[in-house]
Amino acid sequence: MLPLTANFRTVPSVIAFVNDRFREIFVEPGDPEPIRAGGVQRRDGSESARAVALTVPPEQMPDDTRVEPRRAVVAETIAAFIDDITRVKPWVVYDPSIKSTRPARPGRRDSRAEDDPEFVAPFEDRLRAHEVNYRLVGGKEYFVRDEVRALAAVLRAIDNPADRLSLVQALRSPFFAVSDTDLFHFVSTKGVLNINAPQADAVAKRDVFDPAFSLLARLHRLRRIESPSVIIEELFARTRALAAFLMKPSGAQMVANLWKVLETARAYEAAAPTTCGRS
């Protein structure tokens, strides 16, 4: 068994705090050795930020010893602390970029969250409740976010006009914002859920569906000659989806995730040029 002696991702102040706590717990010979910070340093060479230990009052900790209820309390404690030091009674911190002090503010760092959605969700929920600005990009939960799934449904509908399930998902998404009522009236008057199918004059809500079908059909034709990133760019430019997502709670996070899809497509194309119709 190889010993773990260094941590290359965590800042030294956190490692020092953990080592101090472990010294109190592990006192027998053969217990784990302290871990050293391996390569995690500030660019200006100054001392790393201090670690702050947040303690939850015993009366607020649920009797339930399961992880889920206790994680919710920890999430609330962290969110409330950030809110307090950035909005209620802002701390004063030194900012090396301006070589002066300034009020503390929430950071917005793109990160790779490798935890599952159930782990991350309580923390995001409490940060939103306290209106703490944050951004989380990447990780396993990224692909199951509503905005990313909505974009995926639109792209499937563009690729395959016969995929009625994806078409309905696309129409109901913020990309086209078709209501369930409009969808009911369209289908009940014999509207055809196919972007290339002709529609009878008597079909209801043509003013809603015709522009959506026209754009989807145009992008369907374009996919044979253009790259996926161009299709996504056109979709963003010709719909109001980004603005619609931005108006939602955590809208900036949603828009960042959608741009992340576009950036990923561009990176993929740079490595292996392709089109939606030839991938």
The DSSP 8-state label assigned to residue 50 in this structure reads P
Say how far apart CA 103 and CA 105 lie, in whole Å. 6
pLDDT (0 to 100) of residue 179: 93
Using 50, 70 and 90 to split pLDDT, how confident is the model at 279? very low
Closest CA to 231 of 149, 148, 150, 159: 159
Q: What are 187-198's pLDDT values in tens digits?
A: 999 999 999 989
pLDDT at 136 over 90: no
- Whether the CB-CB separation of 151 and 175 falls below 8 Å is answered with yes
pLDDT at 80 over 80: yes
- The 3-state DSSP class for residue 190 equals coil
> Looking at the domain that runs over 145-271, which CATH code has it been given?
1.10.486.10
Using 50, 70 and 90 to split pLDDT, how confident is the model at 139? low
Closest CA to 71 of 131, 124, 6, 138: 124
pLDDT (0 to 100) of residue 113: 45
**N-term to C-term CA, the chain:** 44
Region 87-113: mean pLDDT is 76
Q: Which residue has the tokens 């472990």?
A: 22
pLDDT at 8 over 50: yes
Closest CA to 149 of 268, 258, 262, 263: 258
Using 50, 70 and 90 to split pLDDT, how confident is the model at 114? very low
pLDDT at 251 over 70: yes
Alpha helix segments (H runs only) across 56-203? 67-83, 117-129, 146-159, 164-172, 180-188
The percentage of the chain sitting over the pLDDT mark of 70, rounded to a whole number, equals 83
Q: Delimit the CATH 1.10.486.10 region(s) of the chain.
A: 145-271
**Maximum mean pLDDT: which of 97-101, 209-213, 238-242, 247-251:** 209-213
